[in-house]
Amino acid sequence: MTLASFRSCTSFPGGTPIPYGGSTQSKDIEFIGEGLPGAPYEIFENSNVLARGNFNLSGAFVERLQNLSSGSHLFKLREHGSALPTSDWALRIRTSRPIGSILVGLSPWGLTLNDDGSRGYVPVGGKLQVIDTDNSTLLAPINIPKLISSWGMALTHNGARAFVLNSSDTLVVDLTTSTVIATLPIHGTWIVPARDGSKVFISNYAQHALAVVDSNSFLFSNIPVGQLPRQLATSLDGNRVYVAHSSNAVAVVDARTLVVLKQIHTGFPVYGLAVSPDGNHVYAAGFLTTHSVLVKLDSSTGLTIWTLNTGTETRGLAINHSGTRVYCCYRDQESKVITIDALSSQILATAQLPVGPMSLEISPDDQNAYVPCLDSGIVSVIDLAPGASNAQAQDVSSLAGESVERIPKERFPGGVD
């Protein structure tokens, strides 16, 4: 017998997936469920029945819940009013996040969100700054005296452990006790966790390799991938790791066997990298003689689908969770983030930022971007909704008196600037 169960939940309209325990700004959501063909079902919360019907002949249903209240919800599914629930779905409906600038300290390079997007972690000298993303405010920092400067971090163990890139090594930090529990001799420039949390992948810049670290034993190995590796990305299914590097290509690594499967050639040194959720496309940004370029590539054939000329210092890339938008940082005099239609390459929006955007993270609900600005000590919070002006993202008047200057490129490996 097939028990009635929720299969997925998305916002409406838009269809952005809402994971179990996730959040959305939309007050209208849509459930897809499965059960016994023709059997009745009810969706309820507390004692209130919100929807009822019958599974179709294929054993499925689609139900839309509208005008939901802000706050936490736990929806349950049962076959009828006297039956016990056989499935549930927890989520949170929140109001819009404040946009603008958050002063975090010298040289923020990367920001990492926890699984539900409620916290952002920014490593800077001597500490991890912790951002409450609902309110765009700083919480108490996690002090790490050994941390000199950092290019980013990754979370494992359900957010309880952080692997933090340091000036010349990698620190493993227990966030529950705020203690460094290991120091690894890996000098990295980018870091991402495996999808299952069992490993951490680090661009081992000086070794021209991908370092693969066991997240429990801290043992690691290096896989040669190409000269001067930088941004990393993993496929949604966790089976592939993509490595941007300066040998004019993107390396594709099998995340299980740790073998380089192929190189997707670009014709230029690659700095920024993003992979579509379905794994069919790779987006690569890098440098030509006079300007930067962003290309969309077929991940199977390596063929170029489109090319977009970008600023003189194009940096990190990100893609939204539905795969429809690509976001690109410019660190040059323009200091901005552009929103690009992934299908057509059309530039849809531009957000002007404080000096030096280097990378960005997209919230799980695709509503906001968090952009560390290296040269100004700021994280900018951007509204990604169509037509959003992001005027507040330009306002740094409250930071008057703070030093805003370009960070000398010799501070970073290989003259990364």
What CATH number has the domain bearing residue 11? 2.60.40.10
Maximum C-alpha span of the chain: 71
Q: How much of the chain, in percent, has pLDDT values that exceed 70? A: 93
* 191, 332: one domain: yes
pLDDT value of residue 21 = 87
pLDDT value of residue 398 = 43
CA distances from 185 to 119, 172, 213, 225, 293 (A): 28, 11, 11, 18, 33
**Exposure letters 77-95 (e unless 16+ CB within 10 A, then b):** bbbeeeeeebbebebbbbe
Beta carbons within 8 Å of 50's beta carbon, 6+ residues apart: 43, 44, 65, 75
Structural domains counted in the chain: 2
Across-strand partners of 64? 30
* 291, 166: one domain: yes
Across-strand partners of 165? 170
How many whole angstroms separate alpha carbon 272 and alpha carbon 268? 12
Query: What SS3 state is found at 8?
Result: strand
How many whole angstroms separate alpha carbon 405 and alpha carbon 190? 23
> What is the extent of the structural domain holding 356?
100-399
Which tens digit of pLDDT belongs to each residue from 282-300? 999 998 878 889 999 999 9
CATH value at residue 354: 2.130.10.10
How many whole angstroms separate alpha carbon 105 and alpha carbon 64? 44
* 224, 317: one domain: yes
Give domain status of residue 206, yes or no: yes
* 64, 142: one domain: no
Contact 151, 124 (CB under 8 A): no
Is the pLDDT at 393 greater than 60? The verdict is no
* 54, 135: one domain: no
Please give the backbone phi and psi of residue 11, each rounded to the nearest 5 degrees, phi first: -75, 160
Give domain status of residue 413, yes or no: no
Beta strand pairing call for 220-224 and 209-214: antiparallel
Residue type, 247: S
Residue type, 141: P
Give domain status of residue 355, yes or no: yes
Which tens digit of pLDDT belongs to each residue from 163-213? 999 988 999 999 999 999 999 999 999 999 999 999 999 999 989 999 999
Give domain status of residue 404, yes or no: no
Across-strand partners of 265? 249
Query: Helix, strand, coil shares of the chain as percentages rounded to 5?
Result: 5, 50, 50
How many whole angstroms separate alpha carbon 394 and alpha carbon 380? 9
Which tens digit of pLDDT belongs to each residue from 25-39? 889 999 999 999 999
Which tens digit of pLDDT belongs to each residue from 303-321? 999 999 987 788 899 999 8
Which tens digit of pLDDT belongs to each residue from 397-417? 344 334 334 444 434 444 444
Give domain status of residue 370, yes or no: yes
**Out of 115-124, 214-223, 316-325, 403-412, least confident range:** 403-412
pLDDT value of residue 391 = 57
Query: What SS3 state is found at 413?
Result: helix
309 CB burial (10 A radius; 0-12, 13-18, 19+)? exposed
Q: Half-sphere exposure of residue 299, counting CA atoms within 13 Å on the CB side? A: 23
Q: How much of the chain, in percent, has pLDDT values that exceed 90? A: 69
Q: Which two tokens stand for residue 394?
A: 């330009």
Band the pLDDT of 22: cuts 50, 70, 90. confident
Output DSSP code: residue 337.
E
Mean pLDDT along residues 258-280: 94
* 108, 166: one domain: yes
Which tens digit of pLDDT belongs to each residue from 127-171? 999 999 988 999 999 999 999 989 999 999 989 999 999 988 999
Output DSSP code: residue 412.
S
Out of 93, 116, 151, pick the residue that ends a domain: 93
- Own/partner contacts of 164-168, CB < 8 Å, gap of 24 or more, are 164/123, 164/128, 165/110, 165/123, 165/189, 165/191, 165/202
Name the residue with tokens 């609902």: 134
**Out of 9-18, 19-28, 271-280, 388-397, least confident range:** 388-397
Out of 55, 77, 93, pick the residue that ends a domain: 93
Mean pLDDT along residues 40-56: 95
Output DSSP code: residue 396.
-
Give domain status of residue 415, yes or no: no
How many whole angstroms separate alpha carbon 406 and alpha carbon 286? 21
Which tens digit of pLDDT belongs to each residue from 342-358? 999 999 988 888 888 98
* 214, 363: one domain: yes
Mean pLDDT along residues 362-389: 88
* 292, 167: one domain: yes
* 23, 147: one domain: no
For 242-274, give the DSSP string.
EEEETTTEEEEEETTT--EEEEEE-SS-EEEEE
* 314, 235: one domain: yes
How many whole angstroms separate alpha carbon 107 and alpha carbon 377? 5
Name the residue with tokens 């819009």: 96
Give domain status of residue 208, yes or no: yes
Give domain status of residue 315, yes or no: yes
pLDDT value of residue 322 = 86
Mean pLDDT along residues 96-107: 89
* 34, 143: one domain: no
Out of 42, 59, 93, pick the residue that ends a domain: 93
* 87, 183: one domain: no
From 178, 103, 150, select the one nearest 377 (Cα to Cα): 103
Band the pLDDT of 367: cuts 50, 70, 90. confident
Mean pLDDT along residues 99-115: 92
Q: Which two tokens stand for residue 223?
A: 């896989």
pLDDT value of residue 413 = 43
